[in-house]
Structure 1
Amino acid sequence: MKLVWSPETATKAYIETVKSCELFEQSSIAELVSAMAAGWDAKLIVETWSRGGAISTSIGLSIARNHTKGRHVCIVPDEDSKSEYVESMTRSSGQSAEVIVGEPEEAMEGIQGIDFLVVDSSVKEFARILRVAKLGIRGAVLMCKNASSRVASDFRWRAVLDRELRIVRSVFLPVGQGLDMVHVGARGGGSARRNGESRWIKHVDRKSGEEFVFRK
């Protein structure tokens, strides 16, 4: 089993998010992540949020969850953030999510099989969350929003991901304050091959910064 893209579901989630977030600034990010999460049929969607953060992305992810009949979890650093998050979600859209309070390692402890993860690059501990995330066996899509911030300037996906994970593709999109995303392949389809068999080759496009992985 692996993540399989569904254009129809992605389109439905996109349109619904457009309607729900049309009054928000940077709603384009919400529309994109919603379509992506729904299109990949993500059953476990996880995000991070802190006080003062935009709520539109969360609305988009909750809408995607409705289409995939999955689970949407939001990790916040403290109880004040939790209260503000729940209130903002209810007031703005009527959507909801499971909210977990705690440090990255503690919060991620009981969350296994993540299909879709969105973190905020402007928060110092965003890389720690990526390191401790327990991804699903079908593969996963990981996103860093606000990726143009100084905190994320020297960020590299391979530095925070398990070496056994296969990066299918990574790309930086100039959406909002920058969106850095990577698609990790399903477990069991790694690059290690026995003698005489094909192997995985990585190529980085110098102009676009996109990373591609293919067999040789």
Structure 2
Amino acid sequence: MKLVWSPETASKAYLDTVKSCEVFQEPSVAEVVSAMAAGWNAGLVVETWSRGGEIATSVGLAVAAHHTGGRHVCIVLDEESREEYAEGMRQFGRSACEMIVGDAEEAMDGLEGIDFLVVDCKGNNDEFGRVIRAAKLGERGAVLVCKNASSRGGSDCRWSSVLDGRSRVVRSVFLPVGKGLDIAHVGAKGGRTGGGKGRSRWIKRFDQDSGEEVVIRK
């Protein structure tokens, strides 16, 4: 099996994100990633988010997950980030998704079968590469998105270097949306794309529906 594009679902998610974010001019990052995640029928959508970051993109991913019936997970570094993210989502009239508090690279250990991954680059290509290589991508393939990617540009060569040859890049594109979106569609392949053992860390998971908190050591 492989990811199959659904224009109808993509269109619905795009329009719902426009309404939710009240952006009625040129397309923003939120609408683009929402349409893509929904159009590829992503079952597991994962994003990384840092304090002061844009919330609209997260709203778009939440909309996409609603349309696909998928799981939306956000990884934040610390408690302050978690609280800021949750408050930002509330301002858009949405509950925060499932959240993981801890190092993004380490958090990937507990996430199997990622279909759609959004990582905030912010000029830190080393951190971006470590997170991508640690991700356990879905058997159907996956769509990888580097947000704030103006410094990266877009090419198969760059993505192949990040993936270290462990996943085949089907196609890639750089979109001048927001501060740049570098996007790659990688082919179907089960298992881990890379990663390795690092320092042991505590990671907390929050289920926003039940309020349950789970603390695990990686």
Q: Is the pair's TM-score, using the shorter chain for normalization, greater than 0.5?
A: yes
2:113 aligned partner, one-letter code: G
CA offsets per residue over residues 79-102 of structure 1, 9 Å max, x none?
110110011111223143111011
- Runs of 4 or more above 4 Å deviation: 23-27
Which residue of the other structure, out of 126, 131, 134, is the alignment partner of 2:133? 131
**8 Å contact kept, 1:33–1:60:** yes
CA offsets per residue over residues 117-145 of structure 1, 9 Å max, x none?
00111063222111101100000000001
Task: Name the % identity.
Answer: 66
Say whether residues 1:39 and 2:53 are aligned partners.
no
Structure-1 residue corresponding to 2:195? none
1:116 aligned partner, one-letter code: F
| Aligned positions of 1:101-112 closer than 5 A | 101-112=101-112
In the alignment of these two chains, the number of paired residues is 186
Instruction: Give the Å deviation of 1:73.
Output: 0.4
Instruction: Give the Å deviation of 1:23.
Output: 5.1
TM-score, scaled to structure 1? 0.80
Structure-2 residue corresponding to 1:143? 145
Deviates more, 1:96-105 or 1:134-143: 96-105
1:140 aligned partner, one-letter code: A
Distance 1:109 1:154, change over 3 A: same
Q: Distance in 1 between the 2:13 and 2:175 partners?
A: 20
Q: Distance in 2 between the 1:27 and 1:48 partners?
A: 21
Q: Distance in 2 between the 1:76 and 1:8 partners?
A: 32
Larger Rg: 1
| Aligned-partner SS, 2:174 | strand
Q: Distance in 2 between the 1:24 and 1:77 partners?
A: 32
| Aligned positions of 1:2-17 closer than 5 A | 2-17=2-17
Structure-2 residue corresponding to 1:203? none
Which residue of the other structure, out of 182, 188, 192, is the alignment partner of 1:186? 188
Structure-2 residue corresponding to 1:99? 99
Structure-2 residue corresponding to 1:84? 84
Q: Distance in 1 between the 2:27 and 2:95 partners?
A: 16
Gaps of 5+ in 2: 191-218
| Aligned-partner SS, 1:85 | helix
Instruction: Give the Å deviation of 1:27.
Output: 6.3
TM-score, scaled to structure 2? 0.80
Structure-1 residue corresponding to 2:176? 174
CA offsets per residue over residues 62-113 of structure 1, 9 Å max, x none?
0000000010000111111011001111122314311101112321110010
Say whether residues 1:159 and 2:161 are aligned partners.
yes
Q: Distance in 2 between the 1:162 and 1:139 partners?
A: 16
1:146 aligned partner, one-letter code: N
Q: Distance in 2 between the 1:144 and 1:74 partners?
A: 15
Q: Distance in 1 between the 2:171 and 2:153 partners?
A: 19
CA RMSD of aligned residues (A): 2.1
Structure-2 residue corresponding to 1:22? 22
Q: Distance in 1 between the 2:104 and 2:187 partners?
A: 23
